[in-house]
Amino acid sequence: MEKIVVDHGSSQIVETPVIRITKYNKDFYFGFYCTVIKEQARRWATRFGGEGYINSYEYDPNQELKILIFEEMTEEWLDFIAACRGGQAHSYDIVEGPMADDTIYNYVQGFIDGKYSREAFWELAKFKYPTHQISFHTARALTTLRFLKGVSANEKQ
**pLDDT tens digit string along 87-146?**
999 999 999 999 877 677 788 888 889 998 988 888 887 765 678 999 999 999 999 999
- Is 68 domain-assigned? yes
CA 150 to chain centre: 18
Question: Could you give the number of structural domains in the chain?
Answer: 1
Query: What's the pLDDT score for residue 50?
Result: 78
**pLDDT tens digit string along 40-75?**
999 889 987 878 999 999 999 999 999 999 998 899
- Is 116 domain-assigned? no
Query: What's the pLDDT score for residue 93?
Result: 98
Query: What's the pLDDT score for residue 131?
Result: 85
Q: What order do you get walking across the sheet with 4-10 strand by strand?
A: 4-10, 53-59, 145-152
- Is 121 domain-assigned? no
Cα separation, 24 vs 15, in Å, equals: 24
- Is 114 domain-assigned? no
- Is 65 domain-assigned? yes
- Is 115 domain-assigned? no
Give the domain range for residue 137.
4-100+131-152
Which pTM was predicted? Answer: 0.87
